[in-house]
Amino acid sequence: MAFISLATVVMLFAFLVQQSLSVIAAEKWNFLFGLDWWAGETYGALPMIYGSLMVTGLALILVLPLALGGAVFTSEYLPARYRLWIKGLMELFAGVPGIIYGLLGVALLGGWVKNTFGLIDGNTLLTAALLLGIMVLPTIMTLAEDALHAVPGQYRDTAFSLGLMKWQVVLSAVIPKALPGIAGAVFLGLGRAMGETIAVMLVIGGLDKIPDPWFNVFASGQSIPSKLGREAAEAIGTDLQWSALMALGLTLFLMVMILTFMGNFFLKRAQ
């Protein structure tokens, strides 16, 4: 089974590389660093790369304190029967399809962002980040809570016997032991956030441009998955545009792989 999993990843990577060769030969480095994407003329992926990183990073910044704080509270402070209720609710939210979140984002979140910040249009990078944060919150929280709850009781008993208070036990004994599981929860949430298509496509605005200034989260944008979702159907049969979309998929594949390897490296250093 491990060999099958590895072979599947290698085959997927090889397929994306093979399908991307045409646009790589035509655009070269301009594909990664170009600012303009005009179908049939030029293909620059930098606005989409920026959009994916900005939306995903902002979503994780907004959601991690809530998700990890909720996981600690649910695992270490709630009575067992209430913990089961919260766990069930979080797992239910984690299983909601992305299109449902997207429709709620269009109906509620976009209007809220528009009215709160006095914008002309509520479809912005911030709206997409907030929606992604809501989507990955249950996943990160429930998996992190599983990792915390799985820490053997003797770690807590030993820490209490040394005279530590409850919050000191959690910080010094429980969280360090559960760190690999917590990191796995964060990476799983990161993977879902970077790969989410429909929900982001409905609220991000769809503008293939880096905002000026670049940190303006109230501007419309485009992520790699939303770009693929918008153009994949119409690009079938047009060689260079299809190749450009496959190269975007390859870029996203490599971005997730690099972030995962970096996370594992820093996790091992921390341990």
Which one, of 184, 164, 182, lies nearest residue 172 by Cα? 164
Residue 238 is predicted with a pLDDT of 66
* pLDDT category of residue 267 using cuts at 50, 70 and 90: low
The 10s digit of each residue's pLDDT in 76-132 is: 998 888 888 988 888 888 888 888 999 999 989 999 999 999 888 889 999 999 999
Residue 114 is predicted with a pLDDT of 92
pTM: 0.88
- How far is it, in rounded angstroms, from Cα 193 to Cα 191? 5
The 10s digit of each residue's pLDDT in 123-168 is: 999 999 999 999 999 989 998 999 899 899 898 999 999 988 999 9
Total Cβ atoms within 10 A of residue 10: 10
- How far is it, in rounded angstroms, from Cα 29 to Cα 46? 11
Residue 159 contacts residue 169 (beta carbons within 8 Å): yes
- How far is it, in rounded angstroms, from Cα 57 to Cα 53? 6
Q: Once rounded to an integer, what is the mean pLDDT over residues 186-190?
A: 86
Q: Which domains does the chain have, with CATH numbers?
A: 2-270 (1.10.3720.10)
Percent of the chain with pLDDT over 90: 51
The 10s digit of each residue's pLDDT in 42-67 is: 899 999 999 999 999 999 999 999 99
Burial class for 267, CB neighbours closer than 10 Å (0-12, 13-18, 19+): middle
Which one, of 262, 218, 224, lies nearest residue 37 by Cα? 224
Question: Mean pLDDT across the chain, nearest whole number?
Answer: 89
Could you tell me the maximum CA-CA distance found in the chain, to the nearest angstrom?
Answer: 70
List Cα–Cα distances, 266 to 110, 174, 259, in angstroms.
Answer: 36, 19, 11
Residue 10 amino acid letter: V
Residue 103 contacts residue 202 (beta carbons within 8 Å): yes
